Amino acid sequence: MFNVGDHVVYPMHGAGTIDAIEEKDILGEKQSYYVLKMPGEVKVMVPINKAEEIGVRGVIDKASADKVFSILEEDKTEMSMNWNKRYRDNMEKMKTGDIYEIADVVRNLSFKQKEKGLSTGEKKMLSNAKQILVSELVLAENSSEDEVEGLIENKINASFKEFELDNIEPVQNVVNKFIPFDDTNAN
Protein backbone atom coordinates (compact mmCIF):
# COMPACT_ATOMS: atom_id res chain seq x y z
CA MET A 1 0.00 0.00 0.00
CA PHE A 2 1.27 3.43 -0.93
CA ASN A 3 0.69 6.78 0.76
CA VAL A 4 0.07 10.32 -0.44
CA GLY A 5 3.38 11.79 -1.63
CA ASP A 6 4.89 8.43 -2.60
CA HIS A 7 6.51 8.20 -6.02
CA VAL A 8 5.17 5.30 -8.07
CA VAL A 9 5.39 3.97 -11.61
CA TYR A 10 2.29 3.26 -13.68
CA PRO A 11 3.09 0.98 -16.65
CA MET A 12 2.95 2.64 -20.09
CA HIS A 13 2.70 6.08 -18.42
CA GLY A 14 5.86 6.43 -16.35
CA ALA A 15 6.57 7.72 -12.88
CA GLY A 16 4.38 10.05 -10.92
CA THR A 17 3.38 11.00 -7.42
CA ILE A 18 0.36 9.93 -5.41
CA ASP A 19 -1.46 13.24 -5.11
CA ALA A 20 -4.41 11.94 -3.09
CA ILE A 21 -6.40 8.90 -2.10
CA GLU A 22 -10.09 9.30 -2.86
CA GLU A 23 -13.15 7.19 -2.44
CA LYS A 24 -15.51 7.18 -5.41
CA ASP A 25 -18.95 5.70 -5.96
CA ILE A 26 -18.95 4.22 -9.44
CA LEU A 27 -21.96 2.19 -10.60
CA GLY A 28 -23.15 1.88 -7.01
CA GLU A 29 -19.85 0.48 -5.76
CA LYS A 30 -17.56 2.44 -3.46
CA GLN A 31 -13.87 2.05 -4.17
CA SER A 32 -10.72 3.79 -3.02
CA TYR A 33 -8.42 5.19 -5.70
CA TYR A 34 -4.89 6.48 -5.88
CA VAL A 35 -4.90 9.81 -7.70
CA LEU A 36 -1.58 9.90 -9.55
CA LYS A 37 -0.06 13.12 -10.83
CA MET A 38 1.89 12.13 -13.93
CA PRO A 39 4.32 14.11 -16.13
CA GLY A 40 2.61 16.73 -18.26
CA GLU A 41 0.07 17.54 -15.52
CA VAL A 42 -1.91 14.37 -16.30
CA LYS A 43 -3.93 12.86 -13.46
CA VAL A 44 -4.75 9.16 -13.39
CA MET A 45 -7.01 7.32 -10.96
CA VAL A 46 -6.07 3.74 -10.13
CA PRO A 47 -8.21 1.48 -7.93
CA ILE A 48 -6.15 0.69 -4.84
CA ASN A 49 -7.31 -2.93 -4.76
CA LYS A 50 -6.08 -3.46 -8.36
CA ALA A 51 -2.92 -1.33 -8.25
CA GLU A 52 -0.51 -4.25 -7.81
CA GLU A 53 -2.34 -6.34 -10.45
CA ILE A 54 -2.15 -3.41 -12.90
CA GLY A 55 1.58 -3.14 -12.23
CA VAL A 56 1.84 0.01 -10.09
CA ARG A 57 5.15 -0.18 -8.23
CA GLY A 58 7.52 2.06 -6.32
CA VAL A 59 10.23 4.03 -8.10
CA ILE A 60 13.61 2.28 -8.40
CA ASP A 61 16.48 3.13 -6.06
CA LYS A 62 19.90 4.59 -6.95
CA ALA A 63 21.54 1.17 -7.42
CA SER A 64 18.80 0.12 -9.85
CA ALA A 65 19.16 3.44 -11.69
CA ASP A 66 22.88 2.68 -12.11
CA LYS A 67 21.93 -0.69 -13.62
CA VAL A 68 19.58 1.08 -16.07
CA PHE A 69 22.44 3.31 -17.21
CA SER A 70 24.68 0.26 -17.64
CA ILE A 71 22.01 -1.32 -19.90
CA LEU A 72 22.10 1.80 -22.07
CA GLU A 73 25.88 1.32 -22.39
CA GLU A 74 25.57 -2.24 -23.73
CA ASP A 75 25.28 -3.46 -27.31
CA LYS A 76 21.79 -3.86 -28.72
CA THR A 77 19.92 -7.10 -28.20
CA GLU A 78 18.55 -9.28 -30.99
CA MET A 79 15.53 -7.76 -32.75
CA SER A 80 13.36 -9.05 -35.56
CA MET A 81 14.08 -7.67 -39.03
CA ASN A 82 10.31 -7.53 -39.58
CA TRP A 83 9.21 -4.11 -38.26
CA ASN A 84 5.73 -5.40 -37.35
CA LYS A 85 7.10 -8.21 -35.16
CA ARG A 86 9.75 -5.90 -33.73
CA TYR A 87 7.03 -3.38 -32.83
CA ARG A 88 4.92 -6.06 -31.10
CA ASP A 89 7.94 -7.41 -29.19
CA ASN A 90 8.92 -3.93 -28.01
CA MET A 91 5.32 -3.14 -27.02
CA GLU A 92 5.24 -6.30 -24.87
CA LYS A 93 8.43 -5.16 -23.13
CA MET A 94 6.93 -1.74 -22.46
CA LYS A 95 3.67 -3.17 -21.10
CA THR A 96 5.60 -5.02 -18.39
CA GLY A 97 6.52 -1.71 -16.77
CA ASP A 98 9.97 -3.20 -16.07
CA ILE A 99 12.45 -0.32 -16.22
CA TYR A 100 15.20 -2.62 -17.53
CA GLU A 101 13.03 -3.78 -20.43
CA ILE A 102 12.14 -0.17 -21.23
CA ALA A 103 15.85 0.77 -21.20
CA ASP A 104 16.44 -2.10 -23.64
CA VAL A 105 13.71 -0.73 -25.95
CA VAL A 106 15.17 2.79 -25.78
CA ARG A 107 18.70 1.60 -26.58
CA ASN A 108 17.65 -0.77 -29.38
CA LEU A 109 15.35 1.70 -31.11
CA SER A 110 17.91 4.51 -30.71
CA PHE A 111 20.53 2.33 -32.42
CA LYS A 112 18.11 1.42 -35.21
CA GLN A 113 17.23 5.11 -35.68
CA LYS A 114 20.93 5.99 -36.03
CA GLU A 115 21.55 3.12 -38.47
CA LYS A 116 18.71 3.60 -40.90
CA GLY A 117 15.81 5.42 -39.32
CA LEU A 118 12.53 4.27 -37.82
CA SER A 119 8.96 3.98 -39.03
CA THR A 120 6.49 6.54 -37.69
CA GLY A 121 5.13 3.99 -35.21
CA GLU A 122 8.57 3.11 -33.91
CA LYS A 123 9.52 6.81 -33.61
CA LYS A 124 6.45 7.33 -31.44
CA MET A 125 7.30 4.22 -29.40
CA LEU A 126 10.88 5.46 -28.87
CA SER A 127 9.61 8.85 -27.75
CA ASN A 128 7.14 7.25 -25.33
CA ALA A 129 9.74 4.80 -23.97
CA LYS A 130 12.21 7.66 -23.40
CA GLN A 131 9.54 9.69 -21.58
CA ILE A 132 8.77 6.73 -19.30
CA LEU A 133 12.48 6.10 -18.66
CA VAL A 134 13.23 9.77 -17.98
CA SER A 135 10.24 10.22 -15.64
CA GLU A 136 11.45 7.43 -13.37
CA LEU A 137 15.15 8.26 -13.51
CA VAL A 138 14.44 11.91 -12.61
CA LEU A 139 12.91 10.70 -9.33
CA ALA A 140 15.46 7.91 -8.71
CA GLU A 141 18.44 10.20 -9.38
CA ASN A 142 16.87 13.33 -7.84
CA SER A 143 17.93 15.16 -11.02
CA SER A 144 16.33 17.45 -13.56
CA GLU A 145 14.67 16.17 -16.71
CA ASP A 146 17.32 17.88 -18.87
CA GLU A 147 20.17 16.26 -16.92
CA VAL A 148 18.66 12.78 -17.21
CA GLU A 149 17.85 13.20 -20.92
CA GLY A 150 21.44 14.33 -21.57
CA LEU A 151 22.86 11.42 -19.62
CA ILE A 152 20.69 8.93 -21.55
CA GLU A 153 21.76 10.42 -24.89
CA ASN A 154 25.44 10.38 -23.89
CA LYS A 155 25.27 6.71 -22.82
CA ILE A 156 23.49 5.68 -26.03
CA ASN A 157 25.84 7.69 -28.27
CA ALA A 158 28.90 6.19 -26.58
CA SER A 159 27.61 2.62 -26.84
CA PHE A 160 26.52 3.14 -30.46
CA LYS A 161 29.99 4.43 -31.28
CA GLU A 162 31.63 1.51 -29.46
CA PHE A 163 29.47 -1.32 -30.81
CA GLU A 164 27.83 -0.22 -34.03
CA LEU A 165 30.18 2.10 -35.93
CA ASP A 166 32.65 -0.79 -36.25
CA ASN A 167 29.90 -2.76 -38.03
CA ILE A 168 29.01 0.07 -40.40
CA GLU A 169 32.44 1.40 -41.47
CA PRO A 170 33.77 -1.83 -43.07
CA VAL A 171 30.89 -1.73 -45.57
CA GLN A 172 32.00 1.74 -46.69
CA ASN A 173 35.62 0.54 -47.00
CA VAL A 174 34.54 -2.39 -49.20
CA VAL A 175 32.70 0.01 -51.51
CA ASN A 176 35.86 2.10 -51.87
CA LYS A 177 37.89 -1.00 -52.80
CA PHE A 178 35.50 -2.02 -55.55
CA ILE A 179 34.81 1.47 -56.87
CA PRO A 180 38.20 3.17 -56.70
CA PHE A 181 38.44 6.77 -57.69
CA ASP A 182 41.03 7.08 -60.44
CA ASP A 183 41.69 10.57 -61.74
CA THR A 184 44.52 9.56 -64.15
CA ASN A 185 42.06 9.33 -67.08
CA ALA A 186 40.40 12.66 -66.32
CA ASN A 187 40.70 15.26 -69.08
Domain of 38: which CATH number? 2.40.10.170
Same domain assignment for residues 156 and 67: yes
pLDDT of 173 higher than 50? no
Q: Which has the closest alpha carbon to 104: 80, 149, 68, 152?
A: 68
Same domain assignment for residues 12 and 84: no
State the CB neighbour count (10 A cutoff) for residue 174.
10
Same domain assignment for residues 82 and 100: yes
Same domain assignment for residues 76 and 112: yes
pLDDT tens digits along 100-113: 999 999 999 999 99
CATH of the domain at 119: 1.20.58.1290
pLDDT tens digits along 35-91: 999 988 899 999 999 999 999 999 999 999 999 999 999 999 999 988 899 999 999
Same domain assignment for residues 34 and 108: no
Same domain assignment for residues 96 and 167: yes
pLDDT of 18 higher than 50? yes
Report the alpha-carbon distance of residue 147 to residue 26 in Å, rounded: 42
Quote the domain boundaries for residue 45: 7-20+30-58
Q: What is the pTM of this model?
A: 0.84
Q: Count up the domains in the chain and report the number.
A: 2
User: Percent helix, strand and coil across the chain, each rounded to 5?
Assistant: 55, 20, 25
Report the alpha-carbon distance of residue 3 to residue 22 in Å, rounded: 12
Same domain assignment for residues 90 and 143: yes
Chain centroid offset of residue 97 CA: 10
Q: What is the mean pLDDT of residues 118-129?
A: 95
Query: What is the model's pLDDT at position 139?
Result: 94
pLDDT of 167 higher than 80? no
Residues in CB range of 61: below 8 A, 6 or more apart: 140
Same domain assignment for residues 157 and 84: yes
